[in-house]
Structure 1
Amino acid sequence: MADNLTDVAENRGLDWLTGNSPAAPVLPLKVALVTANGSDSAPGTEVSGGSYARLNVAFAAASGGATSNLADLVWTGMPAATVVGIEIWDSAGTPVRWWWGPLTASKTLASGDEFKLAAGDIDLTLG
């Protein structure tokens, strides 16, 4: 997901780099699944229903301007939906959306299906 930082994340990153404010997200970071992708300025349409909930995600230390998720993420008991992308949110009292991006290929799920993103499937890059 190159250059898929949200506007808020871009501004917070610049503020941090210029010493204007702390910009770190509140951990843990969480992955949300969406049925319609958002943009830098607006969130997508998040999956709802079934046993769906955002899952915690951790990333490896960045190298070469890139990182990826350390462990598999598995959602069980999903509602019927077509997942087209993901968003990464923090755990603040009012959560902040930091990153967004489309999946390589959409995934259509029947009610009760499992959805999995394997370790290394979520690639984040700057550059």
Structure 2
Amino acid sequence: MALVTAAGNDATAGTEVTGGSYSRKNISVAAAVNGAVTNSADLSFTGMPACTVAGWEIWDSAGSPVRWSYGPFDASKVVAAGDEFKVSAGAWSFSAS
């Protein structure tokens, strides 16, 4: 999972968070329920730079990564330098449409 400060669209990726100790996190998902999956473990982004996190993107880990999905969080969150941004287990969900 990548965090973005500005949402992308079908043609263009969003503006990914940069700086601090931010790095993308591997996401594990629970079994689909009614076509939707949720994260099965907490995702903790520590040492964040000062920014406003607006959304997420899911990328594969291939040599030339491909963005699989993207979307906004329910609400943007202002993060101070050094803070942690946490997505608790079960708090992120995705369904294909």
TM-score under structure 2 length normalisation: 0.96
Q: 2:72 aligns with which of 102, 105, 111?
A: 102
Name the structure 1 match of 2:27.
Answer: 57
Mapping of 1:1-127 within 5 angstroms?
Answer: 31-127=1-97
SS in 2 for 1:55: coil
Query: How far 1:63 sits from its partner (Å)?
Result: 2.4
Q: Tell me, in whole angstroms, the C-alpha distance in 2 between the residues paired with 1:64 and 1:76.
A: 32
Runs of 4+ in 1 over 6 A off after TM superposition: none
| Bigger-Rg structure (1/2) | 1
More strand by share: 2
Residue segments in structure 1 that go unaligned for 5+ positions in a row: 1-30
More helix by share: 1
Alignment length (residue pairs)? 97
Q: Tell me, in whole angstroms, the C-alpha distance in 2 between the residues paired with 1:32 and 1:126.
A: 18
Q: Tell me, in whole angstroms, the C-alpha distance in 2 between the residues paired with 1:85 and 1:124.
A: 13
TM-score under structure 1 length normalisation: 0.74
